[in-house]
Amino acid sequence: MLTLGCPDTTGIVAKISTFLADEGGWIVEAAYHSDADTGWFFTRQAVRADSIAVSLDELRARFAARVASELGPATEWQLSSSDQPKDIVVLVSREGHCLHDLVGRIRTGELNARIAAVIGNHTDLEDFATRLDIPFQHVPFPAAGTDPDGAGRAAAFARVAELTDVHSPAAVVLARFMQVLPPGLCTAWAGRAINIHHSFLPSFVGARPYHQAFARGVKLIGATCHYVTADLDAGPIIEQDVIRVDHSDAIADMVRQGRDIEKLVLARGLRWHLEDRVLVHGRKTVVFS
């Protein structure tokens, strides 16, 4: 799997495709994007492993020497193998629908991933996880008003980080975790921490978005899967979707219908991330779905 982003110019596709052809690479799937706004070029190429004679390390060395060196120092690229399931860590609170959904998708083989740990600030989902042999860790967070200087919360997050980082996960999934990551973790997990926000961002940033949506009287509600950054709910968006509501839907109805969208949007975003289909550039993403 090759992903690459670099300043756009003529001949990039020719260079890459000639290199892959010379190595005997059978391209199974190829996608390209030239962004006129930023003058940047992006590509993702899936090549059959058995069509390449050399090792992955050797291929990387050759690509660096023959292609990347000619595309300039700003070029970002990655060559990886997709045969092994990737480890992920899932952060949860009390609501289980996103966790249930991810577990189901892993059991059916749709997501090529392994849940190394579920970390919850409540124990509501411990029973579900442990029955299915998924390690569950409880890290309590201070209740509102009991942690004036934030030391308790900082300690809890330090414990979450410790329990997470031991797995070097390919993704840290905030599956309705309901706690705002501190800036340090946003940096440490940049490009790997994935949140599902229960509104169609940028509408209804922050707490209780379904209540905000109900009060405003919108006719569609949505969910947004995005990378976590230090700006609350403002990280690069990976995927969004919506569902229709009307005046007869109370907040509880919105919550119920919204859960279906949250599950779908998170599952799509996470799969694309794990399959190297998401390239981040600035505040935006290129998604080769």
Q: Counting contacts by CB under 8 A, is residue 5 touching its own copies?
A: no
Contact 189, 89 (CB under 8 A): no
Instruction: Round to whole Å and give the CA distance between 125 and 105.
Output: 17
Smallest distance from its own copies to CB 73, Å: 21
**Residue from 75, 93, 126, 128 that binds its own copies (CB under 8 A)?**
128
Three-state DSSP class for 63?
helix
Q: Counting contacts by CB under 8 A, is residue 103 touching its own copies?
A: yes
> How far from 223 is each of 104, 108, 206, 268, 272, CA to CA, in Å?
20, 24, 13, 12, 16
Q: Counting contacts by CB under 8 A, is residue 52 touching its own copies?
A: no
Q: Counting contacts by CB under 8 A, is residue 7 touching its own copies?
A: no
Smallest distance from its own copies to CB 35, Å: 7
**Residue from 2, 4, 10, 266 that binds its own copies (CB under 8 A)?**
10
**Residue from 154, 155, 218, 230 that binds its own copies (CB under 8 A)?**
218
Contact 287, 238 (CB under 8 A): yes
**Residue from 2, 4, 6, 20 that binds its own copies (CB under 8 A)?**
20
Smallest distance from its own copies to CB 20, Å: 7
Q: Counting contacts by CB under 8 A, is residue 217 touching its own copies?
A: yes
Q: Counting contacts by CB under 8 A, is residue 34 touching its own copies?
A: yes
Instruction: Round to whole Å and give the CA distance between 266 and 198.
Output: 10
Q: Strands 171-174, 136-138: parallel, antiparallel or unpaired by DSSP? A: unpaired
Q: Counting contacts by CB under 8 A, is residue 286 touching its own copies?
A: yes
Annotated catalytic, 233? yes
Site for its own copies, residues 54 to 93, rule: CB under 8 A: none
Please tell me which residue in 101, 233, 249, 276 is annotated as part of the active site: 233
Q: What stretches of the chain adopt beta strand conformation (E)? A: 2-7, 27-35, 40-47, 76-79, 86-92, 113-120, 136-138, 171-174, 193-197, 220-227, 237-244, 278-281, 284-287
Smallest distance from its own copies to CB 235, Å: 10
Burial label, 7 (beta-carbon count in 10 A; 0-12, 13-18, 19+): middle
Cβ distance to its own copies smaller for residue 15 or 159: 15
Smallest distance from its own copies to CB 267, Å: 8
Q: So which residues are the catalytic ones?
A: 233
